Structure formats: C-alpha cells, structure tokens
C-alpha cells in the first residue's frame, strides 16, 4: 500500500484575525481587510499542495465553516491534492449529495472525497435537525451510500427503502461516469465496521483505538463482502530536527493551551507518543474555545523518530494518515520538507 498523507484543515471559528498595529514610523501598506476564513483556508490548502501532501480534509464542526463550501473553494485552488469534506447523512438527500459531488468531480478531475460521520453526539445531531439515534443511523447511512452510488453508476435507477425512494433515477451525461468520491468511515462498533466493509474505501482509526483488532475484524467482514477498505489513522504530529527541540515546542504548545508546566507529560522516548495534544482545557490563546480536531495522543519527536513511528503503522496495515498540526501553514511546509522525504522510499516503492 502506498502511504498517503492528508492534512486536516483548521476549523475556522474566527471571522478575521486582528493584526497587531505597526509602529508609526513603519510604512504600512497592509490591506485594510485582514484575511478572512476562506483566504486563511486557501493559504493552508496551497501549503498542502506545494508541500506535496496527498490531500486535505475539511472537518465538520458545528462551530466552523461548512465543509462542502470549503471543499469547493479548495478544489478550485489546487491541481493535485484530493479534498475531503466531512458531513453527516442528514444534510441532504443522497441524490442531491451525489449530484453536487458529481459537479465537484467534473470541476476538479475527480479529486473530491467524502468522510461520512454517522455517530454525531445526539445533541449536536438534533441541533442539525437530525433525531435518529443508535443503529438506525447506520441503517440510514447504509441507504444513503447505496442510493448515492446507485444514482451515480446506474441508469433508470429505482430504490425503495425506509429512508429514501427514487424512481427512474441516475445521473445523466456528462455528470455520470466520474469517479465516486472515496468514502471514509470510522467507528469500532459492529454496525460501524459492517458499514465500512460494505461501503468504506478508507476506515479511519484514532491512535487510541485498538488498531490490530479493528483491522482484523474488518478483514474478516470483508471476506463476506468481497471488498476491503484501506486503513487510515488520525495523527497529530509535532516533528523537529531533534527530540529536544520537539519536546521544547510541545511544551510551548501545552502552555499556550493553558496546561500547567508541572503537569507536562513527557513524550515517550521510544515510540514518540505524546498524550498532550488535546488534553488541556484548550482555552489559553484560543479565544473562541478549543481547536477542534486536535485529538489527544500524537507523535512528538525528531523527524527520524516520527518517520519510524509512521513506518510502524504502515507495517500494521495503515496506509492513509490524516495529519493534524498547528500552526497549519508552517507545520505543513515542515512536514513536506523534512518528514515526507524520509518516507520517500515507502511512498515510491510500495507494493
């Protein structure tokens, strides 16, 4: 499996970042409008493109911008990176989701992917107008993907289920015939794994998950379905020239996020695992609340050590990495220039 590296985009919860004033004697030609959320996202997207990452992920966050709108703009601004939008099945009918996506595929040369969240926490879901709970959500997700794929690839498509009904459907030329978005799914429940075995192209784990048993379970299910997703991992990273520098910057991050210096957890010297990526109250400099998408454990260490840890995951069967970094622009260039070259062999000689 060729490893792939995707950058998780920031959730833009702020409107415009205020710029600090310059001293009077400094000529100040800065545009009066500070870069807004879309300009900031576009810059991060271009960073991922120039730094050679394989893709970017626009996560769903109720407090942030809409991932489909973000994805539309980023696809327009890039040539190579894949762009994933995260959404839940309640946002639209599967026919509409398919049609909108077919246009994005036409506009981008088939670079658009889906991450379908099925298990929103119930309060968030109800605020989005979605009252389904438990296993029913997986039943709907199953239908959603079945119908979306059905209209995508068939003519005169009929479907009658518990959630959706289509008669004489099917995308028409020239919206038909594009590549269906790669479907990313996650979750460890029996329903989640079963859904992935039937419809997932990438099953995404977290570092906390029991990867080996998750992968084993999916492999077994895929014997029945005859298709197997590839495996992905959410991976917060802070990599530097050496371990000492990495530790220093992890400590800075910790303190910036409101962590107490005495409570700083040390990165594991062997595995580079560091549990502090999202543990603290996350207030500090984040005036609008925690930076979402910054999951708890991640990797802190030298480029070499982080590359080793990535290789370890490759050996266990993971091939798609959703990197989470901060600040996005600098760290993306850093990864592109220092970490990815160490993994060039895996990237180019994969089986």
Partner 1 sequence: MPVDFYWRMAMEGDQPSLRRKGAASRGGFAKDATGGLAPGTREGGPDGYSHLDYLAEVARATETSGFVGALLPSFPHTDDPWAAAAALAGETSVYRFMVAFQPGFLHPVQAARMTASLQVATGGRVVYNIISGGGGPQQLWWGDKVDHDDRYTRTSEFLDVLKGVWYADRPYDHEGRFYRVEGGGLPPSLSGQPFPEIFFSGSSKAAIVAAGRHADHYLSWLEPLPSLAAKFDQVREHCAGIGRVPRFAVRLDVLARETEQEAWEEIRRGWARPGPAATPAFVGLGDSVGWRRGQDLAGEGNEDDGHRALEVSPNVWGGFHVLRAGPAFGLVGDYRQVAARLDELIGLGVEAFVLGGVPHLEEAYHVGERVLPLLRGGAAGRGGGS
Of 208-227, which residues contact partner 1 (CB under 8 A)? none
- Smaller CB distance to partner 1: residue 14 or 347? 14
Sign of CA dihedral 309, 343, 277, 60: negative
- How many CA atoms are closer than 13 Å to the CA of 133, on its beta-carbon side? 6
Q: Is the Cβ of residue 74 or residue 207 nearer to partner 1 in the bound state? A: 74
Kindly provide the b/e burial profile for residues 268-278, where b requires at least 16 CB atoms within 10 angstroms of the residue's own CB: beeebbbbbbb
107 near partner 1, judged by CB under 8 A: yes
Minimum distance between the CB of residue 175 and partner 1, rounded to whole angstroms? 7
Structure tokens at 26: 């400094």
Question: How far is it, in rounded angstroms, from Cα 68 to Cα 82?
Answer: 13
106 near partner 1 (CB under 8 A): yes
Six-digit token string for 34: 């500070």
Asked if 31 interacts with partner 1 (CB under 8 A), we say no
Of 78 and 196, which CB lies nearer to partner 1 in the complex structure?
78
Binding segment for partner 1 (CB under 8 A), chosen from 168-176, 202-210, 227-235, 242-250, is 168-176
Residue 48 as a binder of partner 1 (CB under 8 A): the answer is no
Residues 173-192 touching partner 1, rule: CB under 8 A, are 173-175
Q: How far is it, in rounded angstroms, from Cα 263 to Cα 266?
A: 9
Among 147, 140, 115, residue whose Cα is nearest residue 191: 140
Q: Out of 21, 129, 226, 351, which residue is the one contacting partner 1 (CB under 8 A)?
A: 129
Q: If binding is defined by CB under 8 A, does position 263 make contact with partner 1?
A: no
Strands (E), 225-271: 230-240
The site for partner 1 (CB under 8 A) is made up of 12-15, 36-38, 42, 62-66, 68-73, 75-77, 90-96, 99-104, 106-109, 123, 126-131, 147, 159, 164-170, 172-175, 288
């Amino acid at each position: 499996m060729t490893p792939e590296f995707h950058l998780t985009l920031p959730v833009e919860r702020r409107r415009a970042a205020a710029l600090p004033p310059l001293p009077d004697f400094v000529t100040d030609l800065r545009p009066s409008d500070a870069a807004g959320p879309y300009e900031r996202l576009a810059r991060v997207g271009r960073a991922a493109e120039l730094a050679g990452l394989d893709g970017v992920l626009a996560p769903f966050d109720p407090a942030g911008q809409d991932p489909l709108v973000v994805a539309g703009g980023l696809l327009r601004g890039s040539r190579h990176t894949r762009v994933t939008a995260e959404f839940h099945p309640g946002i639209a009918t599967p026919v509409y989701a398919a049609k909108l996506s077919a246009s994005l595929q036409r506009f981008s040369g088939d670079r658009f992917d889906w991450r379908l969240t099925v298990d929103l926490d119930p309060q968030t879901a109800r605020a989005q107008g979605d009252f389904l709970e438990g296993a029913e959500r997986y039943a709907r997700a199953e239908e959603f993907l079945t119908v979306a794929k059905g209209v995508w690839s068939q003519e005169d498509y009929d479907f009658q289920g518990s959630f959706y009904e289509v008669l004489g459907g099917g995308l028409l030329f020239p919206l038909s015939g594009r590549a269906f978005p790669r479907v990313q799914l996650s979750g460890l429940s029996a329903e989640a794994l079963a859904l992935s075995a039937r419809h997932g192209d990438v099953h995404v784990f977290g570092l906390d998950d029991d990867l080996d048993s998750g992968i084993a379970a999916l492999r077994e299910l895929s014997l029945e379905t005859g298709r197997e997703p590839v495996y992905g991992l959410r991976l917060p990273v802070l990599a530097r020239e050496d371990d000492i520098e990495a530790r220093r910057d992890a400590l800075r991050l910790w303190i910036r996020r409101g962590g107490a210096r005495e409570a700083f957890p040390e990165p594991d010297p062997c595995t580079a695992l560091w549990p502090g990526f999202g543990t603290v109250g996350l207030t500090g400099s984040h005036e609008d609340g925690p930076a979402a998408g910054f999951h708890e454990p991640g990797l802190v260490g030298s480029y070499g050590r982080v590359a080793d840890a990535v290789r370890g995951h490759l050996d266990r069967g993971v091939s798609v990495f959703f990197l989470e970094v901060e600040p996005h622009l600098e760290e993306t260039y850093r990864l592109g220039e220092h970490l990815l070259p160490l993994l060039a062999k895996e990237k180019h000689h994969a089986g």
